[in-house]
Chains A and B, each alone.
Chain A
Amino acid sequence: GEDVEQSLFLSVREGDSSVINCTYTDSSSTYLYWYKQEPGAGLQLLTYIFSNMDMKQDQRLTVLLNKKDKHLSLRIADTQTGDSAIYFCAETYYQTGANNLFFGTGTRLTVIP
């Protein structure tokens, strides 16, 4: 089975950069995703990276992928209090004709004003 690991907690000061790390297991994952979940809400897709890329930048978000080490990271520049949430990485796995998501354990980001 899949095992996607993340650190449980991260605290940063407002204005600093946040780096959330993820290690995944399925080397055949073609896409890797980052989702954000605010308290009591559903999941919001933030960004994704294709497995043949090693970096993707999208405004304040930078995704780095080290496929050899199966390590994924999400950097949030100039972190704001509105960024406080739980962040899930997700790998794709193939099952019975479908590519499904398997989520990491989630990292709770707290931004200190």
Chain B
Amino acid sequence: DTEVTQTPKHLVMGMTNKKSLKCEQHMGHRAMYWYKQKAKKPPELMFVYSYEKLSINESVPSRFSPECPNSSLLNLHLHALQPEDSALYLCASSQDVGSGNEQFFGPGTRLTVL
């Protein structure tokens, strides 16, 4: 299995809702990432997990809460989001966080906040 899967594919939520995005990989990778991509822009790094521990948080607001329950799974819990949080959320994984470890991306979850 050489792919990163993400669910759901699309999500529409209100500003008072709580929802979660899920990412899974079975390549034995020990680093996993969340990126946010606004329309017509490049992806921007949000979080990095290395060996199931959060190693980087790029000053992301606390309404986004990542979780890595095991080495294959990465979740992003969403609460009290704003309309400007609408974007494509991409998950990626790599062998580890060292140099030269290519990141493999999932198809993304397209989030719309009403």
A-side interface residues toward B, CB under 8 Å? 30-31, 33, 35, 40-45, 48, 50, 88, 92, 94-106
Contact = CB atoms under 8 A, between A and B. Distances in A.
A84 to B, nearest CB: 16
* A contact face: mostly helix, strand, loop, or mixed: strand
Interface size class of B (residues with CB under 8 A): 20 to 34
19 contacts: A30-B99, A31-B100, A35-B105, A41-B108, A42-B4, A42-B6, A42-B105, A43-B43, A44-B105, A45-B102, A45-B103, A94-B99, A96-B56, A97-B50, A98-B50, A99-B97, A103-B42, A103-B44, A106-B42
Contacts, number: 64
A35 to B, nearest CB: 8
B47 to A, nearest CB: 11
A37 B92 CA distance: 14
Given A98-B56, A100-B56, A105 B97 contact: no
B99 A43 contact: no
B43 A103 contact: yes
A42 B23 CA distance: 13
A40 B88 CA distance: 9
Given A40-B110, A106-B41, 20 more contacts: A30-B99, A31-B100, A35-B105, A42-B90, A42-B105, A42-B106, A42-B108, A43-B43, A92-B99, A94-B99, A96-B55, A96-B56, A97-B55, A98-B50, A99-B101, A103-B42, A103-B43, A104-B42, A106-B40, A106-B42
B99 to A, nearest CB: 4
A84 B102 CA distance: 23
B48 interface: yes
Nearest to A29: B99
Given A30-B100, A43-B105, A100 B90 contact: no
With a 10 A CB-CB cut-off, give which of B92, B101, B103, B110 has the most chain A CB atoms: B103
B102 A98 contact: no
